[in-house]
């Protein structure tokens, strides 16, 4: 029994190419306040959205090894649509720990649409992925889908300049098609995009409902913890530690801005 409780108090590893995964971490911490988390931003290799499938698989293996060997995590959350869509089945085949992925919320969008048209904005890599193709095939047989790959948008969020002219121009460009359609649901298919919700909503208008995966991931994580008897037994609030493979000063600055609390990250090599 003591072995179980030791494992229960181990952290949950959460990773993304950069700061985007923090949008998922916010939801995880809200629903699972007693859990400990280790957040890793793989900023040395950001943006993931412009990498090949094989590069993404190799990066996911390295990060999983790092989490297991350095932090003895009990579970891993891939808080990145691009990495999930390109590498999660390979990661699950290679490792035994429970792994939760992030896939674009196409299913709820298809269920909620009244107009029969939904849109998704995602990184170029997610946009072209087999996973997304299959999600659209499975859930959108009677629904029109606008699948929009957004180059450079992930990178723009990384800088923390959410209200910059550059971000506004990119959003205007990529959301033009949504505005000119009768789409009533817009899926934010990259964990960086929820930080742009306000700007996106202003451009597409109040008639379009924005959907991201953060809350669904948190709920799924909770049910996996319960089913695997892995819930943290501590009664106090958990701790979160932050690492980046890039510049820790830059990451800490942007993360503090996005999380509205003081974050100090350490640099790590994986």
Active site residues: 80, 190
The answer to whether the peptide bond before residue 47 is cis (omega within 30 degrees of 0) is: yes
Nearest Cα to 80, choosing from 97, 63, 66? 63
**Phi/psi of residue 257, nearest 5 degrees:** -65, -45
Residue 262 makes CB contacts below 8 A (sequence gap 6+) with: 256
Count of Cβ atoms closer than 10 Å to residue 34 Cβ:
14
Nearest Cα to 100, choosing from 108, 88, 87, 86? 88
Check: CB of residue 157 under 8 Å from CB of residue 72.
Answer: no
CA distance 170 to 178: 13
The residue with tokens 């959350």 is 77
């Amino acid at each position: 029994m003591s072995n179980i409780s030791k494992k229960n108090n181990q952290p949950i590893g959460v990773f993304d190419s950069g700061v985007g995964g923090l949008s998922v971490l916010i939801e995880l911490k809200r629903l699972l306040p007693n859990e400990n988390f280790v957040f890793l931003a793989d900023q040395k290799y950001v943006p993931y959205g412009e990498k090949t499938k094989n590069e993404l698989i190799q990066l996911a293996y390295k990060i999983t090894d790092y989490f297991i060997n350095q932090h003895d995590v009990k579970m891993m959350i891939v808080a990145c649509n691009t990495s999930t869509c390109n590498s999660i089945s390979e990661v699950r085949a290679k490792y035994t720990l429970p792994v939760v992925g992030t896939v674009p919320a196409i299913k709820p969008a298809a269920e909620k649409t009244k107009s029969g048209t939904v849109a998704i904005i995602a990184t170029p890599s997610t946009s072209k992925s087999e996973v997304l193709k299959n999600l659209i095939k499975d859930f959108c047989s009677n629904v029109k889908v606008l699948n929009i790959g957004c180059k450079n948008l992930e990178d723009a969020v990384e800088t923390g300049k959410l209200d910059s002219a550059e971000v506004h121009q990119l959003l205007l460009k990529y959301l033009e098609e949504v505005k000119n359609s009768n789409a009533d649901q817009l899926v934010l298919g990259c964990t960086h995009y929820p930080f742009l919700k306000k700007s996106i909503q202003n451009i597409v208008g109040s008639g379009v409902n924005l959907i991201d995966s953060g809350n669904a991931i948190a709920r799924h994580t909770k049910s996996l913890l319960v089913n695997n008897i892995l819930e943290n037994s501590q009664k106090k609030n958990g701790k979160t530690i932050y690492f980046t493979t890039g510049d820790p000063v830059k990451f800490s600055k942007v993360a503090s801005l996005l999380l509205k609390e003081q974050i100090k990250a350490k640099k790590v090599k994986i």
